[in-house]
Amino acid sequence: MKALIRGTAAVIGLFMVAVIGLVATVLVDGDAEATEISDGGGGLRGVPAEFRPWILKASKECTEPELTPALMAAQLYQESKFQTSREEATSDAGAQGPAQFMPGTWATWGRDADGNGEASPWDIGDAVTAQGRMMCSLLKQAKSSGYAGDVRALALAGYNAGWGAVQDARGIPPFAETQHYVKIILATMPRFQGPGLYEVSGSGDGADAVRRAATRLGTPYAWGGGGPNGPSTGFCDGTNGYLNGKCSASSTVGFDCSSLVQYAYWPSTHLPRVAAAQYGATSDRPVSRQDLKVGDLLFWSRGGSSAIYHVAMYAGDGNVIHAPRTGKNVEIAPLTSAMPERDYYGATRP
């Protein structure tokens, strides 16, 4: 959380006591649209595979039921978009790692949760576990404070601005940054909520690829976005990437159909970036519709291999996993209705 400085010297003095060593944040607006399919178990979806077990563990260890996996995931997304590199997950204020801890706050909450011999805000396990402990403590303080309002909102405000600032305001502090932080996280939670685990049967590269793609269920579609390292903002090309007359792709962090497939198979299989090229790279291994296996690639075209416009992965039981189009999210859908049946072109095996 960025230090917020307001008004007179007296106010500054009180506030600085509250914010020493606080967590810093990178404010990120996200698409909060939800789908009905979950990938992560425990009511969690749309979270990178390397984060999911730590979020579930931290949520379970907290005795406050309000600290749900979806709340933790939405907060992590707001803090860092699940970024872990020093270049992408260091704020201007000096906050570090996916949970954006300031060094002073990390000294209080940081532990070697992953057992690698070092407590580091850059380690996913260490950072998420510390986030969970701090939020759990803040929820307890919010409940005992007697302040009006959603205890989740109060705890988030404490994470952003410091509990001292919450006490001074006897509620959410009147800082635009903090109020936005609380509002966007609570609004984004549905994106990460889900009923349970989507199970992928089988073993091998194909099944592993579908499992990896399933960790991104609920991620928005972004034309031109995404790649081997995960989702990213896309672009508009004059025809694609628009929603309601505006360029949606350039402000949406997500995948398009072929980048999701590329991400799912990386690094074991290095597929090209676009759907037509993915067909070209695998067309020497065609698969009939009756012989589909989990992980096979399915293509749709409006006129031959050069006009392929969509790719999906077979997920078993007559379903596919894919990123359908602008305005939608990565989803599981029946093969027969995922795209126009008349455009189905064929399947290949990477």
Residue 1 falls within a domain, yes or no? no
Q: Verify that 286 and 328 share a domain, yes or no.
A: yes
Residues annotated as catalytic are 79
| pLDDT lower than 70: segments of the chain | 1-43, 194-198
Q: Verify that 213 and 188 share a domain, yes or no.
A: no
Lay out the sheet containing 331-334: strands in order across.
Answer: 286-287, 344-348, 297-301, 308-316, 319-322, 331-334
Task: Identify the domain containing residue 269 by its residue range.
Answer: 205-348
Question: Does a cis peptide bond (omega within 30 degrees of 0) precede residue 350?
Answer: no
Q: Verify that 219 and 121 share a domain, yes or no.
A: no
Of 192, 220, 243, the position where a domain reaches its end is: 192
Q: Verify that 169 and 212 share a domain, yes or no.
A: no
Q: Verify that 209 and 171 share a domain, yes or no.
A: no
Number of Cβ within 10 Å of residue 91's Cβ equals 18
Q: Verify that 301 and 262 share a domain, yes or no.
A: yes
Q: Verify that 30 and 86 share a domain, yes or no.
A: yes
d(CA 138, CA 71): 14
Q: Verify that 48 and 173 share a domain, yes or no.
A: yes
Of 160, 192, 224, the position where a domain reaches its end is: 192
d(CA 109, CA 1): 15
What does the pLDDT read at residue 185?
A: 96
Residue 128 falls within a domain, yes or no? yes
Residue 197 falls within a domain, yes or no? no
Q: Verify that 37 and 171 share a domain, yes or no.
A: yes
Domain count, the chain: 2
Q: Verify that 221 and 81 share a domain, yes or no.
A: no
Number of Cβ within 10 Å of residue 221's Cβ equals 30
- Percent of the chain at pLDDT > 70 equals 86
Supply the pTM of this predicted model: 0.52
What does the pLDDT read at residue 198?
A: 65
d(CA 74, CA 244): 26
d(CA 40, CA 311): 24
Q: Verify that 37 and 140 share a domain, yes or no.
A: yes
Residue 171 falls within a domain, yes or no? yes
Of 129, 162, 192, the position where a domain reaches its end is: 192
Q: Verify that 134 and 169 share a domain, yes or no.
A: yes
What Cα–Cα distance (Å) separates residue 320 from each residue in 47, 89, 162, 251, 331? 19, 34, 45, 27, 8
Residue 221 falls within a domain, yes or no? yes
Residue 198 falls within a domain, yes or no? no
Residue 200 falls within a domain, yes or no? no
What does the pLDDT read at residue 219?
A: 87
DSSP 209: H
The CATH number of the domain holding residue 186 is: 1.10.530.10
The CATH number of the domain holding residue 318 is: 3.90.1720.10
Structure-block tokens of residue 103: 């060094």
What does the pLDDT read at residue 179?
A: 96
Residue 2 falls within a domain, yes or no? no
